[in-house]
Amino acid sequence: MTTTDYATYIAGLPKVLVGAACLFRDASGRVLLVEPNYREGWTLPGGTVESADGESPRQGARRESLEEIGLDVPPGRLLVVDWVRGSDRPPIVAYVYDGGVLDDERLKAIRLQESELLSWKLVGQAEIDAHLSGARASRVRAALRALESGAGAVELEDGLPVG
């Protein structure tokens, strides 16, 4: 196979987006959510992995957390991988890492990326469905269960457990 043939082959492969986020909590177990200005609803701090730059999902989660909320926290263990189909976009593989428990000092240090975010808040587990929709809510609940159980990462498809 020539270099041109290989480039054509690669260009013809399916495209998949990759996203990565961190699940941050406070001492009470509430989850930190951010409110983007470019779409409805809330989400975890995170975003698109810059694969063209060779960034890994773990690196992307750390970079996005620093950019979005001003906290440079090395992500902990992988909690969830979710394959999310899209009707108007390529599928997304979403990674969620443990961001750890933020003490009062770290919470006070949060600085929003004003070009993308409107606000942030901490929500209890009972409030997750009121702030997150569909696969996002399922993903956060699965991440919390993985933390509680100490088990390995959870695999989801469209927010639903596989297997």
d(CA 105, CA 4): 55
Instruction: Assess whether pLDDT exceeds 70 at residue 88.
Output: yes
Over residues 4-21, the pLDDT tens digits come to: 788 888 788 778 899 999
Q: How many CA within 13 A on the CB side of residue 76?
A: 17
pLDDT at 114: 93
pLDDT at 1: 63
Only one residue has tokens 């730059």, namely: 53
Share of the chain above pLDDT 90, in %: 80
**C-alpha distances in Å from residue 142, one per residue of 36, 51, 54, 73, 125:** 22, 25, 28, 21, 11
Instruction: Assess whether pLDDT exceeds 70 at residue 98.
Output: yes
Instruction: Assess whether pLDDT exceeds 80 at residue 3.
Output: no
Nearest-Å Rg of the Cα atoms of the chain is 17
Neighbours of 51 (CB within 10 A): 13
Instruction: Assess whether pLDDT exceeds 70 at residue 152.
Output: yes
Element (H, E) at 132: none
Neighbours of 68 (CB within 10 A): 24
pLDDT at 141: 96
pLDDT at 17: 92
Band of pLDDT at residue 51, cut at 50, 70 and 90: confident
d(CA 26, CA 106): 10
**C-alpha distances in Å from residue 16, one per residue of 81, 87, 161:** 14, 13, 20
What is 15-161's CATH number? 3.90.79.10
pTM over 0.85: yes
